[in-house]
Amino acid sequence: MLLKARDRNLFKGKFFGASGSQITHLQFVDDTILFIEANEDAVVNLRRVLRCFELGHGLKVNFRKSCLVKVGKGNSIVERWAELFRCKTASLPIKYLGLPLGGRPSSVSFWEPMLDKIRARLAPWKIRFLSKVGRLVLIKSVLSSLPTYFMSVFKIPISVALAMEKLQKDFF
């Protein structure tokens, strides 16, 4: 429905990359992220398409769990659009599917939540009397797997990789 609406010029997606590919939406299981041009008609038309989806399929879009993310637009216009959808507003960076969007993966601060997650996992383990083998198993099975999802999407800076390695060495 979104592609047909785009093809009928009800709204336009965002253009990405050197090829200028137009993207209107990305979906993963029951999660959708929409990319549309920022104008009143496009927002109203998107709301209409989503309402037609609800009526046609008997499913409901949970707007209370949704948010409108402003990228380079003024607050007042975005707030007005959020009222139309009855959803929240947010600004970049945001978290989507557990990953930060709108940040700079090359900066150490981008990776700080991952380092904090590792530190949080280590805290209760440090007070336990674990053998070296027990510590090694925890490092290999838990600590090594925590950043895997992040690293499958973003290139990790060397300084962050070294910081993670230091946390593991200090624990061992």
Q: How confident is the model at residue 134 (pLDDT cuts 50, 70, 90)?
A: confident
* pLDDT number for residue 74: 63
* pLDDT number for residue 75: 66
Q: How confident is the model at residue 45 (pLDDT cuts 50, 70, 90)?
A: very high
Instruction: Quickly tell me which residue has 């104008």 as its tokens.
Output: 39
Q: What is the DSSP string of 85-152?
A: HT-EEEESSEEETTEEESS-TTSHHHHHHHHHHHHHHHHHHHTS---HHHHHHHIIIIITTTTHHHHH
pLDDT digits (tens, 9 = 90+) for 61-102: 999 889 888 777 566 788 888 888 899 988 888 888 888 888
Overall average pLDDT of the 150-159 stretch: 91
Q: How confident is the model at residue 161 (pLDDT cuts 50, 70, 90)?
A: very high
Instruction: Quickly tell me which residue has 């700080």 as its tokens.
Output: 112
* Residue 138 confidence (pLDDT) above 90: no
Q: How confident is the model at residue 46 (pLDDT cuts 50, 70, 90)?
A: very high
Cβ within 8 Å of residue 122, ≥6 positions away: 143, 167, 171
pLDDT digits (tens, 9 = 90+) for 8-27: 999 998 888 888 888 899 88
Q: What's the chain's average pLDDT?
A: 86
